[in-house]
Amino acid sequence: MNSLSDLRGSSSLCRTGLLVLLALSLSACQDERPETVLRFAWLSDTHIGGGTGQEDLTAAVRDINRLPDLDFVIVSGDVTEYGSNEQLLKAKEILDSLTIPYYIIPGNHDTRWSESGTTLFPTLWEDDRFAFDKAGFRFVGLQQGPRMRMGDGHWVPEDLRWLDSVLVSMPEKDTPVVFVTHYPLDPGIANWYEALDRLKPYTIQVVLVGHGHAGRVLDFEGMPGVMGRSSLRDRDSIGGYTLVEIRSDSMLFAERKTGRETLPVHHGITIRSDDAANQDQVKGYPRPDFSVNSRYTVESLWRYATGFSIPTSPVVADSVVVVSDASGSVYGLTLAGAFRWRTATGGPIYSNPDAGSGLVVLGSTDSVVYCIDVVSGEVVWNFKTGGPVCGSPRIDAGLVFIGGSDGVFRALELHTGDLLWEFSGVEGYVESRPLEGGGLEFSSHPPLAGQWHQREKSSSWHPIE
């Protein structure tokens, strides 16, 4: 199997060995070089839909297909610029032209702005996380969002359960693990420690991250980390990516200039045993401190865990608290936090509900607007749209106003769900709640604000500064 140095076309690792060690002959260097176990290409922050993203990824894929002895490709997020369906489909088309397997996770650009409500990515690639074994290593890839309206990165309960299952299912606890994610494992993720503390009991060789667009060496509480460069050319004339070589005793990282040359190895990691990998875990590291709460009389009266992320706000009507989650479930709880009812939709919910006249209305990524009886939890009516409904409804004067990802803004009759009128000129998808004030104001993404004038049956649009 060829090594990284064989692709450089200049000084080999053997020559480097002579310069550094001053004790080895060329033949000795060749004979004693550790065996190469795996070689893979690492793409990150391809940003299809922005700048030269498409051109640079196409060139990188073409270059990877020409390189010998690569086992697979890792893609560590920010595959697209805005997570639109068009951009995701184009990225899939380009990446599917790889002649070797590839494993992919989304980044914040793929999940924060998503007209599909983050559902298209796992549909196209069959999942938005991965775990596979190769040459005695387990590779685990997991994203941390943020999903739609969240702030910055956050590990959600359903993903942490999956991570637990993947780690526990390893035949041997000391199996060497390569963990792949998008954000660095630091406070840029709101609950960064949730993943770190789960990984620490295992033999983590390295954490591979993207997000920063530049190759860097990192340390996550004693756990080795490497940030991969973006495939974008930035100020250069060509783009690039990272080549990784795993040997019997080490892991080497080198930058590949797309279609041109492989630069010298810029970082190396020693393959660690289970004892060496876990020696730092007895140290104490900072964690969020909530002791300030003890100075005040504010306290939590109750909590209700659905087991999934809750990216929406609750609404209270007729003494019932209505809340929804990423499993597609809508819950009715008492004011004391006790369970009353649960109603299932067909997809994750990012639509904040509104309530009126004993009814609660919300949208789902299954492309349906639901009206639910607040007391019983029964579905009173549903209205099928042409795309995921991430926008939040506004109930006013017996009407429901709501926009969706199909580019349509609608007015529905609250009690029957009948369509009163619709405006199909929305530029982008709607994820906001409309405001009423002499006309319906709502915003869409890309960032535009629209206004529908009911009396004149007209609309106007302007960019959001």
Residue 7: domain span: 1-30
Round to whole Å and give the CA distance between 243 and 32: 22
pLDDT tens for 239-259 read: 999 999 999 999 999 999 999
Residues contacting 94, CB < 8 A, separation 6+: 48, 54, 57, 58, 61
Residue 456 scores a pLDDT above 70: no
Lowest mean pLDDT among 113-127, 167-181, 410-424, 430-444: 430-444
Lowest mean pLDDT among 249-263, 270-284, 301-315, 442-456: 442-456
Which residue blocks in 351-465 are alpha helix, DSSP H?
A: none
Residue at 81 is within a domain: yes
Treating both helix axes as pointing N-terminal to C-terminal, what angle do 85-95 and 53-66 enclose, rounded to 10 degrees? 20
Q: What is the mean pLDDT of residues 306-317?
A: 95
Which residue blocks in 330-454 are alpha helix, DSSP H?
A: none
One domain, residues 145 and 276: yes
What integer pLDDT is reported at residue 449 of this predicted model? 59
**Higher pLDDT, residue 79 or 436:** 79
What integer pLDDT is reported at residue 230 of this predicted model? 98
Q: What is the mean pLDDT of residues 321-339?
A: 97
Round to whole Å and give the CA distance between 455 and 123: 42
What integer pLDDT is reported at residue 19 of this predicted model? 30
Distance from the Cα of residue 59 to its chain's centroid: 24
SS3 call for 80: strand
**Higher pLDDT, residue 248 or 457:** 248
Q: How far is CA 430 from CA 114, 393, 403, 433, 442, in A?
A: 10, 11, 5, 8, 8
Whole-model pTM: value is: 0.88
Last residue of a domain, one of 265, 282, 299: 282
What integer pLDDT is reported at residue 152 of this predicted model? 81
What is the total count of domains within the chain? 3
Residue at 303 is within a domain: no
Residue 143 scores a pLDDT above 90: yes
CB 332 within 8 A of CB 338: no
pLDDT tier, 34 (very low <50, low <70, confident <90, very high otherwise): confident
One domain, residues 155 and 187: yes
Q: How far is CA 294 from CA 6, 238, 288, 291, 439, in A?
A: 62, 56, 14, 6, 46
The average confidence (pLDDT) of the chain is 88
One domain, residues 212 and 260: yes
One domain, residues 327 and 244: no
One domain, residues 19 and 39: no
Residue 465 scores a pLDDT above 90: no
CATH number of the domain encompassing residue 406: 2.130.10.10
Residue 137 scores a pLDDT above 60: yes
CATH number of the domain encompassing residue 119: 3.60.21.10
Round to whole Å and give the CA distance between 258 and 63: 6
What integer pLDDT is reported at residue 306 of this predicted model? 97
